[in-house]
Amino acid sequence: QDGPQRKKRKSEVAEVDKQLDILAIGTAVGSILLYSTVKGELQSKLDGGHDNRVNCVRWHQDNCCLYSCSEDKHIVEWNTQTCKVKCKWKGDTSSVTSLCISPDGKMLLSAGRTIKLWDLETKEVYRHFTGHATSVSSLMFTTVKPMNENKPFDGITGLYFLSGAVHDRLLSVWYIRSDRKEKNAVMSFTVTNEPTFIDLTVSEVKEEPVKLAVVCRDGQLHLFEHILNGYCKKPLTSNCTIQIATPGNDGDSTPKPVPILAAAFCTDKQSLLLVYGNTLQPIIEKVSLNTTESHVCLIRDVQKVLSLKTDVALTKVKTPVVNSDAKVLVPGIPGHSTAVKTPSSGKEKKKNKRKTGETEESIEQRLEALDIDVSKVKTPGGLPQTDSFAVLLVQGLESNDAEILNRVLNTRKENVVKNTVARMPIHAVIPLLHELTKRLQGNPYSASLMVRWLKSVFTLHASYLSTLPDLIPQLGMLYQLMESRVKTLQKLSRLHGRLFILVTQVAASETVQDVTEVNQTAKLVYEDESSEEEGSDDEMIADKDSDENWDEDEEKEEQSDEQDMTVEKEINGDSDLEPENESEEE
């Protein structure tokens, strides 16, 4: 947006001159650049207001004040002298896409999808309007004074403003009432396609119609002329449609349409400035208005004006001067040279043509002429060297030869993989990635081999890949593959843990079974028959407990004890050693 236009006082002529040449540019990062059109350089940068893309920038009538809105849902008021934020407030629940300042400078229109009218002093919403179904792309006031001049004018009530939205073929006109009842549009203008550029002449008198020029995405310009005087139910169609086409001469008989890029009314309100042609080199032309015809097609020969000149010197090929002592190397195989041939004249070329009787040279003879020793090319392992690997890989990718690709990509040597990826040309990186992605989807064995190649490509060619604008869609399949495999990693690790426990338990049980069993049978077993009989007698005669029985039991126990002792001594071998002890025990 250009700087604001207003009458200059003598005291501030110099200051206003400085301000009028400033162009405010909103960036995708959220900063705003102030560019001096006179100096042709960047004057200052406004930072810290937005943290997302700036959608619209508007100068206030007060030169030092600038308003901006962004995708971060906020509206910011800037002081352009100090380059700092004056005020920042939330403008909508979603992104704010368009702004417009009222003629008196006290109100501000903002729009995302709904349209809000803000009081700039209090920063509160004064009025709400329903807006559009899609995001609003343009907002502008169409009247300066209210049509009903009887009532006192407060600066905003009674004014009309216009709005256009993305993918919407209707331009809506809204009326600011004193009450809050009506929130819908009072009238609408219909066009053939989405509006891309709108300009209008502001109505200052009650009877003066508003002239509207709307450029659509299809390259047509629609002109409307209407007196705003209240509600109109039916959408208004254009009074005149302007198109531009080529004459269709010089071999091409069909005329081609030339898109109109923008249009603006001149100060006399009777003529238009048209911008058409190519966006890189547009043509600006002044056209007088003639709205009596409903459709006007202007014939312009754009090709003659837009003939881009190419530098002829750049296309000339310079042949290098080669000495007879020079050795020319053949690409691909190191250390092999070819015979240098001096550029021959046209007469010699005719002589070199093979006669009917001569036989054609074989490939071996040609290789000998090129001074390539065939035996040197073959390495003991039968595999080519790293530099020829790169050549083979490129050939395989270009010809889509599965045999060559299998031969190269199935190598397991890390060193060979790294060197091959390092020596391959940059244009083959993306085809290689596509081939690796295709093979990753195959069996796990080939996937484990492909991962080595992927690692080398990403480490060695990361700087090239980061420069590609469409890298994410090209590597989309690879991302999905990696994500799906990473998702199963947790489940696999759990399964691995359980299987590990099972395997260790099975192994432990096997080791236990393998140990030789200890023979646990006793070497000597002594069974006491008397005690067993006693036990049975005691059980049989449980009720008869007399003193005699007890005595008999004691005697029998003593006898059994004596027998035990004698047996032990016999085992220990000391039965006859100590006769005295025996007598004492008896």
| Domain assignment of residue 37, yes or no | no
193 with 294, same domain: the answer is yes
Q: Note the pLDDT of residue 246.
A: 87
Task: Report how far residue 555's alpha carbon sits from residue 194's, in angstroms, rounded to the nearest whole number.
Answer: 128
Last residue of a domain, one of 299, 325, 344: 299
Asked whether residue 328 carries a pLDDT value surpassing 70, the answer given is no
| Domain assignment of residue 36, yes or no | no
Q: Note the pLDDT of residue 326.
A: 73
Q: Note the pLDDT of residue 376.
A: 47
147 with 295, same domain: the answer is yes
Q: What is the DSSP letter of 333?
A: S
| Interacting residues of 423 by C-beta distance below 8 A, sequence separation 6+ | 386, 387, 389, 390
| Domain assignment of residue 352, yes or no | no
pLDDT in tens, 95-110: 999 999 999 899 999 9
We report the CATH number of the domain holding residue 145 as 2.130.10.10
Q: Note the pLDDT of residue 207.
A: 78
| Domain assignment of residue 338, yes or no | no
Q: Note the pLDDT of residue 387.
A: 59
| Domain assignment of residue 155, yes or no | yes
Of all residues in the chain, the percent with pLDDT exceeding 70 is: 72
Mean of the per-residue pLDDT values for the chain?
78
Burial class (CB in 10 A: 0-12, 13-18, 19+), 57: buried
* Mean pLDDT across 320-327: 70
* Mean pLDDT across 519-542: 65
275 with 407, same domain: the answer is no
Burial 222-255 (b: 16+ CB within 10 A, else e): bbbebebeeeeeeebebbbbbbbebeeeeeeeee
Task: Report how far residue 352's alpha carbon sits from residue 477's, in angstroms, rounded to the nearest whole number.
Answer: 54
151 with 283, same domain: the answer is yes
Q: Note the pLDDT of residue 329.
A: 66
- pLDDT confidence band for 111 (50 / 70 / 90): very high
Residue with the larger pLDDT of the pair 89 and 11: 89
| Domain assignment of residue 574, yes or no | no
Q: How many Cβ atoms sit within 10 Å of the Cβ of residue 66? A: 24
Asked whether residue 323 carries a pLDDT value surpassing 90, the answer given is no
Asked whether residue 339 carries a pLDDT value surpassing 60, the answer given is no
- Sequential DSSP letters for 254-292: S--EE-EEEEEE-TTSSEEEEEEE-SSSEEEEEEE--TT
Last residue of a domain, one of 254, 270, 299: 299
Q: Half-sphere exposure (CA, 13 Å, Cβ side) for 352?
A: 6
Q: Note the pLDDT of residue 412.
A: 83
Region of poorest pLDDT, from 25-34, 51-60, 498-507, 572-581: 572-581
Q: Note the pLDDT of residue 165.
A: 94
124 with 270, same domain: the answer is yes
Asked whether residue 115 carries a pLDDT value surpassing 70, the answer given is yes
Task: Report how far residue 74's alpha carbon sits from residue 51's, in angstroms, rounded to the nearest whole number.
Answer: 10
Last residue of a domain, one of 464, 489, 514: 489
Structure tokens at 103: 């003629």
pLDDT in tens, 390-444: 888 888 888 888 888 888 888 888 888 888 888 888 888 888 888 888 888 877 7
Residue with the larger pLDDT of the pair 340 and 158: 158
Asked whether residue 6 carries a pLDDT value surpassing 50, the answer given is no
Q: Name the 3-class secondary structure at 2.
A: coil
Task: Report how far residue 243's alpha carbon sits from residue 542's, in angstroms, rounded to the nearest whole number.
Answer: 132
Of all residues in the chain, the percent with pLDDT exceeding 90 is: 30
- pLDDT confidence band for 350 (50 / 70 / 90): very low
CA distances, 126 to each of 118, 157, 177, 579 (Å): 5, 11, 11, 132
- pLDDT confidence band for 347 (50 / 70 / 90): very low
pTM, to two decimals: 0.51
Number of domains in the chain: 2
| Domain assignment of residue 191, yes or no | yes
Asked whether residue 8 carries a pLDDT value surpassing 50, the answer given is no
| Domain assignment of residue 205, yes or no | yes
Do residues 228 and 147 touch, judged by C-beta distance below 8 A?
yes
* φ, ψ of residue 8 in degrees (nearest 5): -100, 135
* Mean pLDDT across 558-583: 55
Residue with the larger pLDDT of the pair 263 and 574: 263
Q: Note the pLDDT of residue 1.
A: 38
Residue showing tokens 């417009």: 100
254 with 109, same domain: the answer is yes
- pLDDT confidence band for 252 (50 / 70 / 90): low
- pLDDT confidence band for 351 (50 / 70 / 90): very low
Q: Which domain holds residue 426?
A: 387-489
